Structure 1
Amino acid sequence: MSIVITVEQVNEQLEVMGFEATSLVISSAISIVDTIDTCLDNAGYSDAVVTLIKLYSVILILSSADVRKISSEHAPSGASVSYQYFADGRKTLLKTLSSLDPSGCTDSLPIERPVGIVQFDVVRG
């Protein structure tokens, strides 16, 4: 049985984190995450785990878009607003998502993951 994540739920989580995104972008990200429902159902995850996997996946997809928070505002008419983009919590969310989804259902989603560095040593003899 598929768990439904709503725009309101994502907005609530983003608000707690201090970020914002448009309803259109959120609903589009939700639609993308909904494509892994069959995998999540087959993996046998609990409803709570599926909810977190889907919510975190949507937030991570949004983090590649225009998810931002106001970091400072100035006024008496030298009006200025500065934004901070979603970079600080991304690594932690990715780590949490990986531990929640050992079956790899989210691997097919457009979530930017850090690339590991591989070093090869060439020895000539």
Structure 2
Amino acid sequence: MITSEQAKQYLQSQGIDAGTTPDFIIIGWVELANSVNDCLDANYSANTALLIQCYLISLMAYAQSDKMLSSQTSPSGAARSFKYKNFADRWKAQLNLLRGLDKSGCTTDLIPPDPTQNSFAGIWLGKGGCL
């Protein structure tokens, strides 16, 4: 079972600024990740289950935003920088981590739809004439 504090720590370690994510959102992600505890407990060690839940929560966070905190300084020189990595690559890497661990498919129904697959292309043809 993952806690909200563990989720925040993991998100921050991945460069996702969990400090600006509302607590109620993180609580919702944690609740979803914990909804598969029975399946995880039946198939994995406690540590592997925790990793699976971390990866699931990070996928939910990645699906929401592509902005990541890259550096932060303070003692009075307050500065923050953000970077925008290739979202499709980050998404696929995190998804592969999750799927690599969750061989039993406990989290399959909770994984957000792949936002990198929503591209559309097409041609509109029209034929007109006069009466």
Give the gaps of 5 or more residues in structure 2.
Answer: 72-80, 118-131
User: What's 2:106 paired with?
Assistant: 105
Give the gaps of 5 or more residues in structure 1.
Answer: 73-80, 116-125
Give the CA RMSD over aligned residues. 2.8
**4+ residue segments displaced more than 6 Å:** none
Instruction: Report matched runs for 1:66-77 at 5 Å.
Output: 66=65, 68-70=67-69
Please state whether the residue corresponding to 1:59 is helix, strand or coil: helix
CA contact (8 A) 2:56 2:107 kept: yes
Q: So what's the TM-score if we normalise by structure 2?
A: 0.65
Instruction: Report matched runs for 1:42-57 at 5 Å.
Output: 42=42, 44-57=43-56
Residue 95 of structure 1: CA displacement?
0.7
Please state whether the residue corresponding to 1:89 is helix, strand or coil: helix
Paired residue total: 105
Q: So what's the TM-score if we normalise by structure 1?
A: 0.68
Structure whose residues are more often helix by fraction:
2
Percent same amino acid among aligned pairs?
30
Change (3 A) 1:25 1:103: same
Which structure is larger by alpha-carbon Rg, 1 or 2?
2
